[in-house]
Structure 1
């Protein structure tokens, strides 16, 4: 005895229903759905197409993935969804997924290591075909989880120590040298590099390159400070002290990323410091408001959208069986000079 249908409940059509309506077998319908239409006559293809439209048949993606061994799902783990960098990367990955007929699952860790591990486990349980990760800085336990899942993976922007994986990112050495040289050429004599805690390779590479480049100009002053982005009092004190120490020199600040550039700009506004007049201001990542803030803020623009597209392209190659050695694909940045670093 069949189970009674609840009043008002929608009845989902099955492949058997489609076969019956098209007056054919389930095998022919399966061939139609799986792109093997060349094996069917034109009349049969037309009948199956009409039956699918009439019944509003929706194939079960779960059933198809179990049969094919692929879910057509891609996971994207990003460190901070509020960061404009992350948004542009996500746009690039999502656009590339649509082009490939893939569905993207986005997970935001909010820069929390425990959340990163949780999402790695969750995406593995969903049997995604691969993962793109903008890593917080995976612990050994999280890496172990990923290795056990044996999923293709591409890292974007940030590397993970002792973990062999394809990485897509900015050429940080080239970009930092470009920004530092620009400030020196504009006549600044004392430079301050401000970074969030240098716990990831991107920040370390930029800081290290800045210090190495400044060693080649001993007549200039180079300082660096690591600060928690939420500590507004410490940030304001650091700016006051830097200005006081070098009151007789042209001073400029370089920020390690766009989020920090915003906080530094806010701190300067609270302190009545005018960039482009009292001090120079520059930072990595192009921000939508940078050209509108005062005389404009000099930035190092990253091709983040293109990085997202490249990350998905590399991931698809791995999913399809590419076994070439892991590689780092580095993109060049573009210096957008504005009034905040104008020469006098």
Structure 2
């Protein structure tokens, strides 16, 4: 194999020398200040840039102006289809607005979320979008109010004054509950991950309870499914089986309402393992989120406008970076009910 010397990249000094002018004129050209340059000088600079194949160092230029066009994106769980779909909206908006996202995946680890937020501040990102599991106000203090601009996706953080973008959780929970009631299900169990510190889960659980209480004689309950604790999952599914059996003894029609796609997937797999492939004849299932597998399995869902959520988050962040000083905003998008076989669709 023959070795060779890697050619040195042209610098702004090389361009100035080639064009027969100073570096100040080249900087003005690169910054778009063409009105201060004569047509003849602009032509010489353009020709020199083309001959030398000059590519400006955008990062260095940005830092000199106090801008680097980097934004941080902290995601709790990239294994969740919701996060991937939101990320697509974020990337589309970044492309349109000229930002480069730095993506940090915390893998549902609160300590990783804290470490990544600290790391993002050292990278001097212009703003941060946070879709995190258990991040606290103290951890986010360097961003948001008085710090680096921040936008929260899917969940608010108590004590932090920041824009929030996500689903209209209360409306989605009502929509799903009312659909099940209208289909004649009179024993509905809401299955949700631990929700004490996650605002979106709390809002869905509370709205479910309110909708059910408003529709007697229907009954039901809330079951917490901690997917990070295998023993807790076993206990929760034992409780779920008891509730399904109790509904059958009373002659009630039982339905399960999963708070999100990861919960729905675990519930569906459990039901199939316990009752066989015909499990939908025994119990109905509805879920917030509409992952690809839900269509294959015939699961009724409430589809979130994930692309729009991600896109709006970047728009909000861009406005904050550009100096918008309005009060904290909430963009709550409506969910879409997608009826399939699992609720008699």
Equivalent pair of 2:144/2:160 in contact (CA under 8 Å): no
Report the TM-score when normalising by structure 1: 0.93
Which residue of the partner structure matches residue 208 of structure 1?
206
CA RMSD after TM alignment: 1.8
Report the TM-score when normalising by structure 2: 0.92
Equivalent pair of 1:130/1:152 in contact (CA under 8 Å): yes
> What is the DSSP-based 3-state SS (H/G/I as helix, E as strand, rest coil) of the residue aligned with 1:16?
helix
Q: Kindly tell me the number of residue pairs found equivalent between the two proteins.
A: 336
Q: Deviations over 1:260-293 (max 9, x none)?
A: 1111111111112534311100100011121111
Q: Is 1:108 paired with 2:109?
A: no
Q: 2:217 aligned to 192, 197, 219, which one? A: 219
Which residue of the partner structure matches residue 54 of structure 2?
57
Structure 2: give runs of 5+ residues left out of the alignment. Answer: none
Which residue of the partner structure matches residue 238 of structure 1?
239
> What is the DSSP-based 3-state SS (H/G/I as helix, E as strand, rest coil) of the residue aligned with 1:145?
coil
Pairing 1:157-236 to 2, within 5 Å after superposition: 157-198=154-195, 199-230=197-228, 231=230, 232-236=233-237
2-side partners of 1:325 and 1:149: how far apart? 13
Equivalent pair of 2:144/2:161 in contact (CA under 8 Å): no
1-side partners of 2:35 and 2:79: how far apart? 48
Equivalent pair of 1:175/1:333 in contact (CA under 8 Å): yes
1-side partners of 2:169 and 2:75: how far apart? 20
Q: Is 1:48 paired with 2:45?
A: yes
Which residue of the partner structure matches residue 281 of structure 1?
285
Q: Displacement, 1:49?
A: 2.3
Which residue of the partner structure matches residue 269 of structure 1?
272
1-side partners of 2:109 and 2:138: how far apart? 14
Structure 1: give runs of 5+ residues left out of the alignment. Answer: 1-5
Which residue of the partner structure matches residue 301 of structure 1?
303
Q: Deviations over 1:114-158 (max 9, x none)?
A: 111111111111111111111222234412333698101111111
> What is the DSSP-based 3-state SS (H/G/I as helix, E as strand, rest coil) of the residue aligned with 1:291?
helix
Which residue of the partner structure matches residue 3 of structure 1?
none
